[in-house]
Structure 1
Amino acid sequence: MNHIHLNLKRFDILKQYGGVNDLSHPDEWGTTIVKAVCDRLDSLKSVYPDVEFTIYFPEAHIISAASALEDEELFHLGCQSVYRADTAIDGNFGAFTSHRTANSMRQLGVRATIIGHLEERLDKKGILSQAGITDFSSVNCILREEILAAQEAGLKVLYCIGETLEERENWQEVLKTQLQLGLEQVDLENIVIAYEPVWAIGPGKTPPTSSQVEEVVSYIKTLYPTLDVIYGGGLKLDNAGSLAKIPNLDGGLIALTRFTGDIGFYPDEYVAIADLFLKER
Structure 2
Amino acid sequence: MIYAANLKCNHTKKSYADYAKKLSNGLSQNSNSVIVFPPFTALSEDKFNFTQGAQNFYPAQNGSYTGEIGSQMLEEFEITTVMIGHSERRALGEDEPFLKAKFDYAVSKGWDIIYCIGEDDITHMNGSTKEFLSDQLANIDLNYENLVIAYEPIWAIGTGNSAKVEFITEILDFISSKCSAPLLYGGSVNITNIDEIKAIKSCDGVLVGTASWDADKFLEIIKKG
| Structure-1-length-normalised TM-score | 0.74
1:215-246: CA deviation from partner (whole Å, max 9, x where unpaired):
0000001111x111010213210210110110
Task: State the shift of 1:42 in Å.
Answer: 2.4
Query: Which position in structure 2 is the counterpart of 1:11?
Result: 10
Q: Offset at 1:96?
A: 2.5
3-state SS of paired residue (1:223) = coil
Aligned partner of 1:250: which letter?
Answer: D
The CA distance in 2 between the partners of 1:246 and 1:187, in whole Å, is 23
SS at match of 1:6: strand
1:202–1:269 distance in 2 versus 1, CA, 3 Å:
closer
- Superposition pairs of residues 128-147 of structure 1, within 5 angstroms: 139-147=95-103
Runs of 4+ in 1 over 3 A off after TM superposition: none
Aligned partners of 2:20 and 2:215 also within 8 Å? no
CA contact (8 A) 2:4 2:208 kept: yes
Specify the code of the residue in structure 2 equivalent to 1:98.
Answer: G
Does the Cα contact within 8 Å between 1:82 and 1:102 map onto a contact in 2?
A: yes
Root-mean-square deviation (CA), in Å?
A: 2.0
Q: State yes or no: 1:269 paired with 2:224.
A: no
Paired letter, 2:78: G
2:86 is matched with which residue: 101, 106, 117? 117
The percentage of aligned residue pairs carrying the same residue is 24
Instruction: Say which SS state the counterpart of residue 227 (structure 1) adopts.
Output: coil
Alignment of 1:29-44 (within 5 A): 29-42=15-28
Contact (CA 8 Å) 2:157, 2:186: kept in 1 or not?
Answer: no
Task: Work out which of the residue numbers 41, 54, 68 in structure 2 matches 1:99.
Answer: 68
Please tell me whether residue 28 in structure 1 is matched to residue 3 in structure 2: no
Decide which of 143, 148, 151 is 2:104's aligned counterpart: 148
* Distance change (3 Å), C-alpha of 1:269 and 1:121: same
Aligned length: 223
Question: Which residue in the other structure is 1:175 paired with?
Answer: 133
**SS of equivalent to 2:91:** helix
Cα offset for 1:187? 5.5
Q: Write the mapping of 1:168-207 to structure 2, written as runs, cut at 5 A.
A: 168=124, 169-181=127-139, 183-184=140-141, 188-203=144-159, 206-207=161-162
Is the Cα contact below 8 Å between 1:102 and 1:149 reproduced in 2?
Answer: no
List aligned pairs for 1:84-95, cutoff 5 A: 84=59, 86-87=60-61, 94-95=63-64
Render the CA deviation track for 1:236-268: whole Å, top value 9, x for unaligned: 1021011011011000011212xxxxxx82111
Query: Would the alpha carbon gap of residues 27 and 165 (structure 1) be closer, same or farther in structure 2, given more than 3 Å must change?
Result: closer
Q: Which runs of 5+ in 1 are unaligned?
A: 13-25, 88-92, 126-138, 258-263
Q: Which residue of 2 aligns with 1:239?
A: 193
> Structure 1 27/196 Cα, relative in aligned 2: closer, same or farther at 3 Å?
closer
Q: Is the 8 A contact 1:102 1:155 kept in 2?
A: no
**Unmatched segments (≥5 aa) in structure 2:** none
> 1-side partners of 2:185 and 2:191: how far apart?
14
